[in-house]
Amino acid sequence: GWPKFAAHLWMRTADGGVAATAYAPSSAHLTLSGIPVHIRCETGYPFSEELRFSVECEAPVRFPLWLRIPNWAGLGSVVRIGDAAPIRAMPGTFQRIERTWSGRVELTLTLPMAVRITRRYHGAVAVERGPLVYSLKIGEEWRHLRGELPHADWEVHPTTPWNYGLVIDPENPDVEVVKGKVGEVVYGPDHAPIHIKIKGRRIPEWTMEKNQAGPLPKSPVKSSEPIEELTLIPYGCAKLRITEFPLVDS
């Protein structure tokens, strides 16, 4: 999947321009109207709200640059080019920027990443921020079953509680977003570049069945367990995943 993703970050458009169809640190070398053009994107996306682009041309050339504005970004998305007035971008569209590009031009796209609470199966809730959905951070014990390392079969067992419901107002979520740095290792529970702190209670009747989490209780659920502060990490960073949580009756 990764080579296909990288190969399709940038695409030519029917109007002679180029479009950023997905976002990641990347660069594209292409020729537009006979002029070599180098486009670069530097970003911590999908963890960071800011994407910094540079467009370098060997000679002045006019073409449109299309930037994808995800629907989740809301109405606060803006494109800034130097000291010019910010361009307000409409979510769920591509922002078209047509101009004569000359030398090196730098622009910044800001995509606000508000925390959203979405409803799921049995009235459960999931926590999303920007393009990512978040899962409970669970301690892991890895047991080697069979096969030669590193291409072997493993079991992963939880070492910390997982059966939580969330104590939250879905319309006005009280959460804390803790931002870190994107390091060499990203998709692991101990290296997640971003965390969300949220309140929850244990649901004792929600137990393991057949070596996995049992059926999701219908929300709202009642619990007299103490309120705890939970840590959520991006879904891709978790190997054991509780992502849809019962909603605790307040």
Q: pLDDT digits over 100-129, tens only?
A: 999 999 999 999 999 999 999 999 999 999
Which among 195, 197, 132, 202 is positioned nearest to 162, based on CA atoms? 202
Q: What is the mean pLDDT of residues 233-238?
A: 96
Which among 5, 63, 77 is positioned nearest to 34, based on CA atoms? 63
Helix/strand/coil for 74: helix
pTM for this model (two decimals): 0.91
Helix/strand/coil for 48: coil
Q: What is the pLDDT of residue 106?
A: 96
Using the predicted structure, report yes or no on whether residue 7 has a pLDDT greater than 80. yes
The Cα-based distances of 69 to 21, 55, 78, 221 in angstroms read 9, 19, 9, 37
Q: What is the pLDDT of residue 185?
A: 86
Do 33 and 63 touch, CB atoms closer than 8 A? yes
Picking from 38-42, 162-166, 210-214, which range would have the lowest pLDDT averaged per residue? 210-214
What tokens appear for 160 in the block? 């910390």
**Residue written as tokens 């393009």?**
131
**Cα–Cα dist 93/91, whole Å:** 6
Q: What is the mean pLDDT of residues 194-212?
A: 96
**Cα–Cα dist 202/142, whole Å:** 24
Do 113 and 49 touch, CB atoms closer than 8 A? yes
Report residue 132 CA to chain centroid gap.
3
| Phi, psi values for residue 59, rounded to 5° | -155, 155
Binned at pLDDT 50, 70 and 90, residue 183 comes out as confident
Q: What is the mean pLDDT of residues 163-177?
A: 95
